[in-house]
Amino acid sequence: MQGMKGKWLLSATLVSVFFLGARSLDLRGQNPPEPNEPRPGTAADRAEDKQQAQALHERIRQDRERLQADVRQFGKNSSQARADRAQLRADKHAMKRLHRDMRRDHRIAAHRGHRRRY
C-alpha cells in the first residue's frame, strides 16, 4: 500500500512540474519590447510595422520571381528551387508574425483609448 502511494505522489509531482515548466516557457515567450523600440500601439510603432510589412511584401515578391526563374532553369525539384521555396516559406511566416503583432498592437491601442474615456 505504501509503495502505491509513493508512485502516485511521484506521478503527481512529475505532472505538476511538467505543467509549471510549460507555463514558464509560455511566459518566457512574452518578452517586453526592446528599449529602442516604440511602445506597442503607438503611431511610431504602427509606422515601423508598416515599413516592415512593405519590406516583407517586396521580399516575398522577389522570392516568388526567383522561384519561378529557378524552376524554369533548373526544374521544380532542383536544390535551387527547394532553397527558394524554403526562403519564401520563411518570409511568409515572418509576414504572419508581423500581422499577428500588428493585431496585438491594435488591441493594445484600443484598450488604452477605452480606458482614457472614463
In which domain, by residue range, is 85 found?
41-117
Cell numbers for 88, please give them: 519564401
Residue 92 located in a structural domain: yes
pLDDT at 1 over 60: no
* 52 vs 113, higher pLDDT: 52
Identify whether 50 is part of a domain.
yes
For the chain, how many structural domains are there in total?
A: 1
Farthest CA pair distance, the chain:
73
Can you tell me whether residue 41 is helix, strand or coil? coil
Cell numbers found for residue 14: 512529475
Residue pLDDT, tens place only, 48-107: 999 999 999 999 999 999 999 999 999 999 999 999 999 999 999 999 999 999 999 888
Query: 25: Cβ–Cβ under 8 A, 6 or more apart, which residues?
Result: none
Tell me which residue has cell 508598416: 50
Whole-number pLDDT of residue 103: 93
Scan for cell 483609448, then name that residue: 113
- Is residue 31 one of the residues assigned to a domain? no
pTM: 0.63
Q: Is residue 11 part of a domain?
A: no
Closest CA to 57 of 85, 98, 86: 98
Rounded Cα distance between 57 and 107, Å, is 23
Q: Between vectors from CA 93 to CA 45 and to CA 96, what angle results, nearest 5°? A: 45
- Three-state DSSP at 1 gives coil
Position 108 pLDDT exceeds 80: yes
Domain membership of residue 30 (yes or no) is no
pLDDT digits (tens, 9 = 90+) for 25-44: 555 556 666 777 788 778 88
